[in-house]
Amino acid sequence: MIVEFGHFALILGFAVALFQATVPLWGAIRGDAVLARLGVQAALVHFALLALAFAALTHAYLVSDFSVLNVFQNSHSLKPLIYKWSGVWGNHEGSMLLWVLILALFGAGVAVFSKRLPDDMLGATLGIQGLIASAFCAFLIFASNPFLRMPNPPIEGRDLNPVLQDPGLAIHPPLLYLGYVGFSIVFSFAAAALVLGRVDAAFARMIRPWTLAAWITLTLGIAMGSYWAYYELGWGGYWFWDPVENASLMPWLTGTALLHSAIVLEKREALKTWTILLAVVTFSLSLLGTFLVRSGVLTSVHAFAVDPERGLFILLILIAFIGGSFALFAARASALQGGGLFAPVSREGALVFNNLFLSVASLAVFVGTLYPLLLEALTGAKISVGPPFFNLTAVPLMVPLFLAIPFGQKLAWKRGDLLGAGQRLWICMVLGVVGAAISAYAAGGGPVLALAGIGLGIFLVLGALDDLLERALRGGTGMILARIRAIPQSITAMALAHAGAGLMVIGISATAFETEKIAAMKPGETLALDGYTLRLEGIGPVTGPNYNAIAADFSLRDPSGAELARLRPAKRVYIGRQMPTSEVGRYRHGLSEIYIAIGETSDGQHVDLRAYHKPYVLLIWLGPLLMSIGGILSLLDRRLRIGVPARRARLRPEPAE
Amino acid sequence: MFWLPVLVLILVTILLALWPLLRGRGRVDPMEQAVAFYQARKTELERQHAAGQIGDSDFEAAMAEQGRHLLSLGRGRGQVSGDAAARRRRKVAALAMLVLVPGITLAVYLRIGQPGLPDLPLASRPITPQNMDVASALQRIEQHLARNPDDGRGYEVVAPVYLRAGRFTDAAFAYRRVIALLGPSATRHADLGEALVAEKDGIITAEAREAFEKAVALEPGYAKARFYLAVLLEQDGNRAGAIEKLAALAAELGTGPGRMRVEAEIARMRTETGGPASEAGQSIAALPEAERQAAIRSMVDQLDTRLAGGSGTLGEWQRLIRARLVLDEPDKAREALGRARAALAGEPDSLKVLDELAGEIPGKAP
CA distance B26 to chain A (A): 8
The DSSP annotation for A509-556 comes to: HHGGG-EEEEEEE-TT-EEEETTEEEEEEEEEEEE-SSEEEEEEEEEE
Q: What is the pLDDT of residue A300?
A: 44
- Based on the domain organization, do B211 and B235 belong to the same domain? yes
- Based on the domain organization, do B320 and B350 belong to the same domain? yes
Mean pLDDT of A573-587: 78
CB contact under 8 A, B117 and A151: yes
Bridge partner residues of A543 (DSSP): A548
A444 torsion bin: left (phi>0), alpha (psi -120 to 50), beta (else): left
Q: Which has the higher per-residue pLDDT, A284 or B127?
A: A284
- Give the count of beta carbons closer than 10 Å to the beta carbon of residue B77: 11
- A89-108: pLDDT as tens digits: 888 899 999 999 999 999 99
Q: CA-CA distance, A352 to A344, in Å (whole number)?
A: 9
Judge whether residue B75 has pLDDT over 60: no
Confidence band of B279 (pLDDT split at 50, 70, 90): low
Instruction: Out of B272, B297, B313, pick the residue that ends a domain.
Output: B272
- What is the count of structural domains for chain B? 2
- Based on the domain organization, do B263 and B290 belong to the same domain? no
Judge whether residue B79 has pLDDT over 60: no
Range of the domain at B209: 142-272
Instruction: Out of B237, B272, B307, pick the residue that ends a domain.
Output: B272
CB contact under 8 A, B69 and A269: yes
Q: What is the pLDDT of residue A320?
A: 93
Q: CA-CA distance, A626 to A620, in Å (whole number)?
A: 11
**Which has the minimum average pLDDT: A196-200, A222-226, A278-282?**
A196-200
The DSSP annotation for B27-85 comes to: ---HHHHHHHHHHHHHHHHHHHHHTTSS-HHHHHHHHHHHHHHHHHHHTTPPPPP-HHH
- Based on the domain organization, do B159 and B190 belong to the same domain? yes
Angle, in degrees to the nearest 10, between helices A119-143 and A2-30: 140
Q: What is the pLDDT of residue A576?
A: 62
Bridge partner residues of A536 (DSSP): A554
Nearest partner of A403 among A490, A493, A501, judged by Cα: A501
CA B170 to chain centre: 16
Q: What angle do CA A135, B107, B3 make, to 5 degrees?
A: 115
Q: Is B205 inside any structural domain?
A: yes
Task: Please tell me if residue B27 touches chain A, with a CB cutoff of 8 Å.
Answer: yes
The DSSP annotation for A358-415 comes to: HHHHHHHHHHHHHHHHHHHHHH-------HHHHHHTHHHHHHHHHHHHHHHHHPPSSS
Task: Please tell me if residue B104 touches chain A, with a CB cutoff of 8 Å.
Answer: yes
Which residues in chain A are closer than 8 Å to B79, comparing Cβ atoms? 31
Q: Is B335 inside any structural domain?
A: yes
Buried b (16+ CB within 10 A) or exposed e, A456-467: bbbbbbbbbbbb
Judge whether residue A653 has pLDDT over 80: no
Confidence band of A621 (pLDDT split at 50, 70, 90): very high
Q: Furthest-apart CA pair in chain B: how many Å?
A: 128
CA distance A89 to chain B (A): 19
- Based on the domain organization, do B260 and B313 belong to the same domain? no
A303, A289 contact by CB (below 8 A): no
Mean pLDDT rounded to a whole number for chain A: 85
Which residues in chain A are closer than 8 Å to B13, comparing Cβ atoms? 12, 16, 45, 49
Q: What is the pLDDT of residue B361?
A: 77
Q: Is B342 inside any structural domain?
A: yes
Distances (CA, A) of A60 to A88, A622, B135: 9, 37, 21
Q: Is B101 inside any structural domain?
A: no
CB contact under 8 A, A14 and B104: yes
Q: Is B186 inside any structural domain?
A: yes
- The answer for A 34-53 residues in CB contact with B (under 8 A) is 34-35, 37-38, 40-42, 44-45, 49, 52
Give domain A1-161's CATH number out of 1.20.120, 2.40.128, 1.10.10, 1.10.3470. 1.20.120
Confidence band of A476 (pLDDT split at 50, 70, 90): low
Q: Is B120 inside any structural domain?
A: no
Q: What is the pLDDT of residue A648?
A: 44
The runs of H, that is alpha helices, within A114-235 are 119-143, 167-196, 201-232
Question: Under DSSP, is residue B254 helix (H, G, I), strand (E, B) or coil?
Answer: coil
Nearest partner of A302 among A198, A238, A399, A229, judged by Cα: A229
- Based on the domain organization, do B233 and B290 belong to the same domain? no
Judge whether residue B178 has pLDDT over 80: yes
**Which has the minimum average pLDDT: A188-202, A385-399, B25-39?**
B25-39
Q: CA-CA distance, B130 to B148, in Å (whole number)?
A: 28
Task: Please tell me if residue A526 touches chain B, with a CB cutoff of 8 Å.
Answer: no
Confidence band of B73 (pLDDT split at 50, 70, 90): low
Q: What is the pLDDT of residue B310?
A: 65
Shortest CB distance from A41 goes to which of B16, B104, B180? B16
Judge whether residue A604 has pLDDT over 70: no
Shortest CB distance from B81 goes to which of A30, A156, A639? A30
CB contact under 8 A, B100 and A117: no
Phi and psi at residue B290, to the nearest 5°: -65, -45
- Based on the domain organization, do B153 and B267 belong to the same domain? yes
Is the ipTM of this structure higher than 0.85? Answer: no
Confidence band of B277 (pLDDT split at 50, 70, 90): very low
Phi and psi at residue A596, to the nearest 5°: -125, 130
Instruction: Out of B272, B295, B330, pick the residue that ends a domain.
Output: B272
Q: What is the pLDDT of residue A305?
A: 41
Task: Please tell me if residue A242 touches chain B, with a CB cutoff of 8 Å.
Answer: no
Q: What is the CATH number of the domain that holds B170?
A: 1.25.40.10
Phi and psi at residue A518, to the nearest 5°: -115, 130
Q: Is B17 inside any structural domain?
A: no
Q: CA-CA distance, A504 to B315, in Å (whole number)?
A: 78
Which residues in chain B are closer than 8 Å to A414, comparing Cβ atoms? none
Mean pLDDT of B165-177: 85
Mean pLDDT of B343-348: 78
Q: What is the pLDDT of residue A509?
A: 92
Shortest CB distance from A4 goes to which of B113, B123, B139? B113
CA dihedral A424, A428, A429, A434 (to 10 degrees): 140
Which residues in chain B are closer than 8 Å to A77, comparing Cβ atoms? 122, 139
Q: What is the pLDDT of residue A8?
A: 96
- Give the count of beta carbons closer than 10 Å to the beta carbon of residue B73: 18
Residue of A nearest to B54 (CA): A644
- Based on the domain organization, do B216 and B239 belong to the same domain? yes
Judge whether residue B164 has pLDDT over 80: no
Nearest partner of B96 among A18, A104, A133, judged by Cα: A18
Q: Is B237 inside any structural domain?
A: yes
Phi and psi at residue A548, to the nearest 5°: -120, 150
β-pairing, A563-567 vs A570-574, is unpaired
- Highest averaged pLDDT of the listed ranges A246-255, A482-491, B222-231, B351-360: A246-255
- Report percent pLDDT > 90 for chain A: 37
Q: What is the pLDDT of residue B365?
A: 47
- A169-218: pLDDT as tens digits: 778 888 888 888 999 999 999 999 998 888 878 888 888 899 999 999 99
Q: What angle do CA A537, A540, A544 make, to 5 degrees?
A: 125
Q: What is the pLDDT of residue B23?
A: 72
Judge whether residue A583 has pLDDT over 70: yes
- Based on the domain organization, do B294 and B258 belong to the same domain? no
Mean pLDDT of B139-148: 77
Mean pLDDT rounded to a whole number for chain B: 79
Q: CA-CA distance, A615 to A529, in Å (whole number)?
A: 12
- Based on the domain organization, do B146 and B251 belong to the same domain? yes
Chain B interface test: which of A16, A26, A66 (most B C-beta within 10 Å):
A16
